[in-house]
Amino acid sequence: MKVTEFGGTKEIFVNQDEGMFVALPITFDENTLELELDESDGRKIVKAGSVVKEVVEGVTYVKGITAEPYDITYGPVVGRVVVEGYAWASRLTDAAKEAAPLLPRIVLYPVAVPEPVTVPVNEGGGD
């Protein structure tokens, strides 16, 4: 039996390849931003699907969520952070999921569905 798998991409945002989100340019610099890094094999990689924060005078600001990884091993690099769009919740870091409510135009998908509500039905008719 032949099995075909669909949807095997590692996109962080829904329709990422079509650019259906709003992103702003940013310089990824670990000296000025709070970044979620994967430090292995002597490299420093800003994780895809991670939150980027900046602390200014003791106040932390959420700048956005990364759509792709960035290698900052040899210093700051220019990239982008997403501030509006639909993100696959399963592909975000825990810190990004926690920060998402601070970015009101980031919607986590699939959307959390509340518990079902049971509505009584009048089966007797009449009233």
Task: For residue range 38-65, list pLDDT tens digits in order.
Answer: 999 999 999 999 999 999 999 999 999 9
Task: For residue range 57-97, list pLDDT tens digits in order.
Answer: 999 999 999 999 999 999 999 999 999 999 999 999 999 99
Of 115, 26, 33, 108, the closest CA to residue 68 belongs to 26
| pLDDT confidence of residue 1 | 63
The answer to whether 89 and 109 are in contact (CB under 8 A) is yes
Q: Degrees (nearest 5) of the Cα angle 102, 105, 111?
A: 90
The answer to whether 37 and 30 are in contact (CB under 8 A) is yes
* 73: CB partners within 8 A, 6+ apart: 42, 43, 44, 45
Reported as a pLDDT band with limits 50, 70 and 90, residue 10 is: confident
Alpha carbon distance, N-terminus to C-terminus of the chain: 57
DSSP 29-72: -TTTSB--EEEETTEEEEPTT-EEEEEETTEEEEEEE-SS-EE-
pTM comes to: 0.79
| pLDDT confidence of residue 116 | 65
